[in-house]
Amino acid sequence: MRICWFSKSACSCVWNTVVWLSRNIQAYPKFTCINSIGYLYFQNPTILKKILTFLVLLSAIATLPAQQDFKVIGYLPYYRFAFNDQIEYERLTHLNIAFANPDMEGNLDVGGQDISPVVAAAKAEGVQVFISLAGGALTADWKQAWEHLMLADNRSAFIHKIMLYLAAYDLDGVDFDLEWGDVNEKYSPFVLELRDSLTAHGLELTAALPGSHRYPDITDEALAAFDWINMMVYDLTGPWNPSNPGPHSPYPFAVSCMEYWQSQSVTTSRLTLGVPFYGYDFGNNPVTAYRYATIVDWDSANAYTDQVNEVYYNGIPTIVQKTELALDNLAGIMIWELGQDHFSELSLLRAIDETIYSTTSIASTPEQVLHIYPNPFTESFTLSNTTGSEWQYWLSDLNGRLLKEQRVASRSMLTVHTADLPQGFYLLTTQNAQQREVHKLVKSR
């Protein structure tokens, strides 16, 4: 029974996995390569069930080129450095260390912390590390220093010191995060001169900008100087607006921000979608911010919703949906910030990574002909077969454990009851005589 095809470059990895599994189940499948196409045949149908999830993961090999340019950017502020050994840096492409600010002589400092251990941990996983400058909570001294150092007579010397800092820590670029009232007529000339210096050394320049607002002093030329823009698509409301309780980072806001920056002539290939790893409690006076980790520690079920009483945040289902939005439309996803994650199977970073790399289909199809809804689901989901052929489905967890399987007759609907399943991620594999698809499902409660 032929169940899938792989390009020749993937055959070796597939075969190694097949052999490993075969040794554990005392049965060897027949394996044949014909020209540039590899075919897998199985003598015993039980082997198919055992190897199915492994093939789902291996299918990512064929689609990796389309994913490897997708950025996963995490900010880590200096006051979260204590979490350095818990962060799964292998799930990132870029780390922005936040925030470096100058004294009046232009010497940069990151909250008095040594960034070397963080840089080393990230680079050990192949992550590009940027220094993020400024931030949205400048002290009076930092504000004064930025005003002074961005003056035309001072900025060249300051940029030289920035370049020395990058070289000292082997950094890959600069993320510029000067915000709101601190963005003035000095901003764009500074960006353009910094861009020239970074380009001369093969380094990159990005900016963190509000989701739906362009500062008037950012010129078109300065906007074009950034390699990409990290859209801060959160804080739609918050402690500064206690009379307006509600979600501060809803999904529709992400869509509108994406459309806003396109209206500013920024292509989607230069935009990343910022997501929050925190929430606001409007039940407190004053309004209080909570780490996602804290919210989940109250009750693990909180990981699968966006609201607990008057606490509003993004749980796993919304983070998954936003990641899918970014995958379909943007250059990547950005996280504020890594130290607020729950370092467990309920991790939002892990949900982002698994969404990127666990939803690929082994055989691409022009359209989905077996419809699955709703997703996320709760007590059940429905499979609607609109084709003239029978389909088989297998539902498994991310560890490969087969949970349910059944056939779906042609032109019929089947309800799959899931009350016995815990909250979390699942893989649904569907197959007919011509094709096979793999879908990521989320049980939200």
What digits encode the pLDDT tens for the residues 397-434? 866 678 999 999 988 889 999 999 998 888 888 888 77
Report the range of poorest mean pLDDT among 39-53, 82-96, 302-316, 427-441.
Answer: 39-53
pLDDT digits (tens, 9 = 90+) for 344-401: 999 999 999 988 986 443 333 344 567 888 888 889 998 988 888 899 999 988 666 7
CATH number reported for the structural domain that contains residue 414 in this entry = 2.60.40.3080
Give pTM, 2 decimals. Answer: 0.71
CA distance 343 to 349: 9
Confidence (pLDDT) at 430: 86
Residues 349 and 375 in one domain: no
* Domain C-terminal end among 357, 381, 404: 357
Measure Cα distances from 83 to 77, 78, 80, 342, 349 in Å. 10, 10, 6, 11, 14
Residues 116 and 224 in one domain: yes
For residue 289, the cross-strand partners are 280
Confidence (pLDDT) at 70: 95
* Domain C-terminal end among 357, 384, 403: 357
How many alpha carbons lie under 13 Å from residue 133 in its C-beta half-sphere?
A: 31
Residues 90 and 207 in one domain: yes
* Domain C-terminal end among 315, 339, 357: 357
Burial of 310-320, coded b for 16+ CB within 10 Å and e otherwise, reads: ebbbbbbbbbb
CATH number reported for the structural domain that contains residue 303 in this entry = 3.20.20.80
Residues 181 and 108 in one domain: yes
Residues 328 and 375 in one domain: no
pLDDT bin (cut points 50, 70, 90) of residue 41 is very low
- To the nearest whole number, what is the mean pLDDT of the chain? 85
Whether the per-residue pLDDT at 28 is higher than 70: the answer is no
How many domains, the chain? 3
Residues 13 and 157 in one domain: no
Whether the per-residue pLDDT at 35 is higher than 60: the answer is no
Cis peptide before 204 (omega within 30 of 0): no
Report the range of poorest mean pLDDT among 164-173, 264-273, 367-376.
Answer: 367-376
Confidence (pLDDT) at 68: 59
Residues 137 and 22 in one domain: no
What does DSSP say about strands 332-336 and 271-276: parallel, antiparallel, or unpaired? parallel
Confidence (pLDDT) at 4: 38
Residues 198 and 266 in one domain: yes
Residues 217 and 161 in one domain: yes
The share of the chain scoring above pLDDT 90, in percent, equals 68
Structural domain that includes position 302: 68-357
Residues 129 and 239 in one domain: yes
Confidence (pLDDT) at 42: 42
3-state secondary structure of 377: strand
373 C-beta neighbours (distance < 10 Å), count: 9
pLDDT digits (tens, 9 = 90+) for 73-106: 999 999 999 999 999 999 999 999 999 999 999 9
Cis peptide before 45 (omega within 30 of 0): no
Residues 215 and 190 in one domain: yes
pLDDT bin (cut points 50, 70, 90) of residue 12 is very low
Residues 230 and 157 in one domain: yes
